[in-house]
């Protein structure tokens, strides 16, 4: 056990130069790439047209037919492919590893005055300090067609500033705009300290913003004439909020349900910031307030699943209750799925945010929105030009036009159609290729036809490979069924067993975690999230604060 874990630990601590050896494709031959003869959709709303695109030093220099192509350009024959402007993620935690769950909160002597950091207020912090471009989320987002992310920090009330980054695999992040935004939520502080409720969070915002305003004025007065004035104090939290107070920086405010959104927008009447609502799941009742907020909205792509019929009840009276409940629930699900269409119909500009959506579900859920009647072009716009404008980067991104960044999606069919698959993503002229997953599709089809929604059986021994930077690490897991639940262990090469915790199986989605001791680092908790497909599993393993890594496995033995 010790050996195995230690080696995982060592590997993830390895210097980052190991990373660059892995991706993109080996040795760079040229700084120019030609996408030849693709069906090009220049921007949302325009028809696909046969053309070629030349990208030099990451910038689109020519687009059309009969291009003047330099001799050293790498040619990507795209006769059978569609080209689209790559997607822009308007807000997410991409490239930011989850915090270690077991991170112990220090006891606070006076819970009414826990200090800014403990209260979840660190607006002076920048997401840039926590970016991990090797995080699995970057690869996954790329796979979904995103070349640019607006990454905001994880945390509670005001965790810090967000940055706009390119999703390429350099050892350092490629910023488009560093410290572009301030990110906030209405979440109370953790662990019973002030603000411990929504009502205190609201007051705290009012307090902070007013104090920041006053501090700003004080500072300006002092700068213009310090004589006889008290010297302004050092207040990094308040200083960090100056641009928000002065409306020169957007405040991205996470608010999911209608009451959250209503509270955020009501609050904004007092604090008067340029506020963007993020991860909205139920914003349609807030139409009036959204209109007067006069800003685009970021919708969640975490859509509710279609209703599963629960087991029926025997008695007549109750089955009426059940029918009533189900019909109301179905209506509710429809409302949630129709949110994007509702915004479009009511002329509210929208894009998406991706807090609660796994990147691999993005296209599935986009297709659901389209099935419910929203035009594909509108979706494309919401993924390209709208976020580009919102983030103030529409001069360099959001469409395939000369002078813009060479960020291109190449797909086998029109996007948002059945079996459409992204084959390549070009990020600033760098090409990423994705495996086709036809084989898998077939398997899936089978289970869909069978309408089997039952949970997968995971019992047995599994042999898995974790792709840590520069290496692959093997491990063995064993699951056994215990009633409706599973128990499991991690087995090391000496046969020692570590129990798995919080094993949860939802359909084909399995998650579990385990804690392993480290010589120097105390303990590290690892969380696995995988999808089971027969005797295969695929997913990720997140290792404490170190990031998350791809994990694949096969079943080597079934129980008798």
Partner 1 sequence: MNKYILSIALLCMAFFMKAQDKGSVLIKNGTLITITDGIKENTDILIKDGKIKKIGKSLKAGSGTKEIDAQGQYVMPGIVDAHSHIGISAVNEATAPVTAEVWVGDAINPFDVSLYRALAGGVTVSHAMHGSANAIGGQCETLKHRYGTMDPEDMRMEDAPRTIKFALGENPMRVHGEGNNISPSTRMGVEQVFRKAFSEAREYRNQWNEYKAGKTKVAPTYNLRMETVADILDGKIIIHCHSYRADEILMLMNVCEEFGVKKLVFQHVNEGFKVAPELAAWGAGASVFSDWWAYKFEVYYSTAYNAAILTKNGVLTSINSDSGELIRHLYHEAAKSQKYGGLTDEEALKLITLNPAKQLGIDDRVGSLEEGKDGDVVIFNKHPLSIYAIPQLTIVDGIVRFDRANDQKDMRVDIDPEASIPSYMEWNAHDHDKCMQGVFETLFHEH
Partner 2 sequence: MKLILNIKSILCVLLLTLSISSKAQLVGKAEKGTFALENARIHTVTNGTITGTVIITDDKITAVGTDVTIPRNAIRIDCSGKSIYPGFIDSGTTLGLNEIGAVSLTQDASEIGNFTPHMKALTAVNPNSVLIPVTRVSGVTTVLTVPQWNLFPGTASLIDLWGYTPEQMFANFDALVLNFPSTGRRGRWDRRSDEDIKKDAEKALKKLNDYWEKATQYANMYDKANGKVMYNPELESMRSAVQGKTKLMVNCNAKDDIIAAIKWIEKNKVDAILTGVNEGHMIADSIAASGLPVITGPVLTIPRSNGAYDAAYANAGILQKAGVKVAIRTNENENVRNLLYHAGFAAAYGMGTEEALKAITIVPAEIFGVDQEVGSIEVGKRANLFIADGDPFETKTNIIQVFINGWKIPMESRHTLLYDEFLERNPGLK
Q: Kindly list the residues in this chain that would bind partner 2 in the complex (CB under 8 A).
A: 315, 317-318, 321, 325
DSSP 371: H
3-state secondary structure of 311: coil
- Shorter beta-carbon distance to partner 1: residue 7 or 266: 266
Q: Is 420 exposed, middle or buried (0-12, 13-18, 19+ CB in 10 A)?
A: middle
Site size with partner 1, rule: CB under 8 A: 50
Residue with tokens 């997607």: 87
Residue 453 lies near partner 1 (rule: CB under 8 A): no
Alpha carbon separation from 553 to 111, 465, 467, 534, 538 (Å, rounded): 46, 6, 11, 11, 6
Residue 342 lies near partner 1 (rule: CB under 8 A): no
Main-chain phi, psi angles of 103, to 5 degrees: -55, 115
Strands 274-278 and 250-254: parallel
Tell which phi-psi region holds residue 66, choosing left (phi > 0), alpha (psi between -120 and 50) or beta.
Answer: left
Residue with tokens 């072009």: 377
- Taking the complex as a whole, how short is the minimal distance between the CB of residue 482 and partner 2, in angstroms? 12
Residue list 236-265, contact with partner 1 (CB under 8 A): 258-259, 262-263
DSSP 46: S
Residue 509 lies near partner 1 (rule: CB under 8 A): no
Length of the chain: 560
With CB cut-offs between 5 and 8 Å by kind, which of partner 2, partner 1, none does residue 315 bind?
Answer: partner 2
> Which span (139-147, 227-235, 241-249, 523-531) binds partner 1, by CB under 8 A?
227-235
Residue list 112-141, contact with partner 1 (CB under 8 A): 112-113
Long-range contacts of 108-116 (CB under 8 A, 24+ apart): 108/191, 108/193, 111/192, 111/193, 111/194, 111/196, 112/193, 112/194, 113/194, 114/189, 114/193, 114/194, 116/237
With CB cut-offs between 5 and 8 Å by kind, which of partner 1, partner 2, none does residue 323 bind?
Answer: partner 1
- Shorter beta-carbon distance to partner 1: residue 6 or 326: 326
Q: Which two tokens stand for residue 560?
A: 């008798």
With CB cut-offs between 5 and 8 Å by kind, which of partner 2, partner 1, none does residue 214 bind?
Answer: partner 1
- Shorter beta-carbon distance to partner 2: residue 305 or 371: 305
Residue list 85-104, contact with partner 1 (CB under 8 A): none
With CB cut-offs between 5 and 8 Å by kind, which of partner 1, partner 2, none does residue 217 bind?
Answer: partner 1
Residue 24 lies near partner 1 (rule: CB under 8 A): no
3-state secondary structure of 80: coil
- Taking the complex as a whole, how short is the minimal distance between the CB of residue 309 and partner 1, in angstroms? 12
With CB cut-offs between 5 and 8 Å by kind, which of partner 2, partner 1, none does residue 495 bind?
Answer: none
- Shorter beta-carbon distance to partner 2: residue 64 or 304: 304
Among 77, 329, 443, 558, binds partner 1 (CB under 8 A): 329
DSSP 172: S
- Shorter beta-carbon distance to partner 2: residue 207 or 321: 321
C-alpha dihedral, 71 to 74 to 79 to 83, nearest 10°: -120
Q: Which two tokens stand for residue 30?
A: 């040229």
Asked if residues 75 and 135 have their Cβ atoms less than 8 Å apart, the reply is: no
Taking residues 351 to 380 in sequence order and writing x for each that binds partner 1 by CB under 8 A, - otherwise, the string is ------------------------------
With CB cut-offs between 5 and 8 Å by kind, which of partner 2, partner 1, none does residue 511 bind?
Answer: none
> How large is the C-alpha radius of gyration of the chain?
25
Taking residues 279 to 298 in sequence order and writing x for each that binds partner 1 by CB under 8 A, - otherwise, the string is ------xx------------
Residues found near partner 1 in the complex (CB under 8 A): 110-113, 192-200, 202-203, 206-207, 210-211, 214, 217-218, 221, 228-230, 258-259, 262-263, 266-267, 285-286, 304, 310, 320-325, 327-329, 331-333, 335-336
């Amino acid at each position: 056990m010790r050996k195995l874990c230690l080696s995982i630990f060592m590997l993830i601590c390895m210097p980052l130069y190991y990373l660059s050896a892995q991706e993109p494709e080996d040795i760079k031959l040229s700084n120019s790439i030609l996408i030849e003869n693709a069906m090009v959709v220049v921007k949302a709303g325009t028809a696909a047209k046969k053309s070629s695109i030349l990208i030099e030093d990451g910038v689109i220099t020519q687009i059309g037919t009969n291009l003047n192509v330099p001799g050293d350009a790498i040619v990507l024959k795209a006769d059978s492919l569609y080209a689209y402007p790559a997607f822009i993620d308007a807000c997410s935690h991409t490239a930011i590893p989850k915090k270690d769950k077991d991170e112990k909160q220090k006891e606070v002597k006076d819970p009414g005055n826990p200090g800014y950091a403990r209260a979840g207020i660190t607006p002076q912090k920048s997401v840039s300090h926590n970016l991990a471009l090797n995080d699995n989320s970057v690869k996954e987002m790329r796979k979904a067609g995103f070349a640019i992310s607006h990454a905001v920090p994880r945390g509670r009330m005001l965790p810090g500033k967000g940055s706009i980054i390119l999703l390429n695999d350099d050892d350092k992040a490629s910023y488009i705009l560093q410290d572009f935004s301030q990110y906030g939520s209405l979440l109370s502080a953790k662990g019973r300290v002030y603000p411990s409720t929504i009502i205190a969070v609201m007051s705290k915002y009012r307090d902070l913003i007013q104090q920041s305003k006053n501090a700003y004025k004080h500072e300006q007065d002092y700068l213009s004439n310090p004589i006889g004035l008290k010297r302004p104090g050092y207040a990094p939290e308040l200083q960090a909020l100056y641009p928000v107070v002065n409306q020169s920086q957007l405040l991205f405010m996470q608010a999911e349900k209608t009451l959250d959104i209503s509270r955020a927008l009501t609050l904004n009447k007092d604090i008067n910031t340029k506020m963007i609502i993020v991860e909205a799941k139920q914003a349609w009742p807030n139409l009036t307030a959204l209109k007067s907020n006069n800003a685009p909205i970021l919708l969640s792509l975490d859509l509710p699943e279609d209703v599963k019929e629960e087991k029926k009840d025997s008695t007549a009276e109750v089955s009426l209750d059940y029918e009533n409940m189900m019909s109301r629930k179905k209506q509710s699900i429809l409302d949630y799925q129709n949110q994007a269409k509702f915004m479009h119909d009511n002329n509210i500009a929208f894009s998406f945010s991706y807090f609660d959506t796994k990147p691999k579900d993005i296209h599935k859920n986009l297709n659901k929105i389209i099935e419910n009647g929203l035009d594909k072009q509108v979706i494309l716009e919401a993924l390209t030009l709208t976020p580009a404008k919102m983030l103030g980067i529409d001069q360099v991104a959001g469409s395939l036009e000369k002078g813009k960044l060479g960020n291109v999606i190449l797909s086998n069919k029109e996007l948002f159609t059945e079996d459409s698959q992204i084959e390549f993503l070009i990020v600033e002229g760098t090409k990423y290729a994705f495996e086709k997953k036809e084989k898998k599709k077939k398997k899936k089809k089978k289970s869909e036809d069978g309408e089997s929604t039952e949970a997968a059986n995971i019992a047995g021994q599994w042999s898995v490979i974790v792709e840590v930077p520069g290496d692959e690490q093997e491990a063995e897991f064993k699951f056994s069924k215990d009633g409706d639940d599973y128990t499991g262990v991690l087995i090391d090469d000496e046969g020692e067993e570590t129990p798995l915790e919080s094993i949860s199986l939802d359909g084909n989605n399995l998650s579990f975690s385990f804690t392993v001791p480290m010589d120097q680092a105390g303990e590290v908790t690892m969380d696995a999230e995988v999808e089971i497909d027969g005797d295969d599993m695929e997913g990720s393993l997140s290792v404490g604060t170190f990031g998350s890594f791809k994990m694949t496995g096969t079943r080597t033995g079934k129980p008798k």
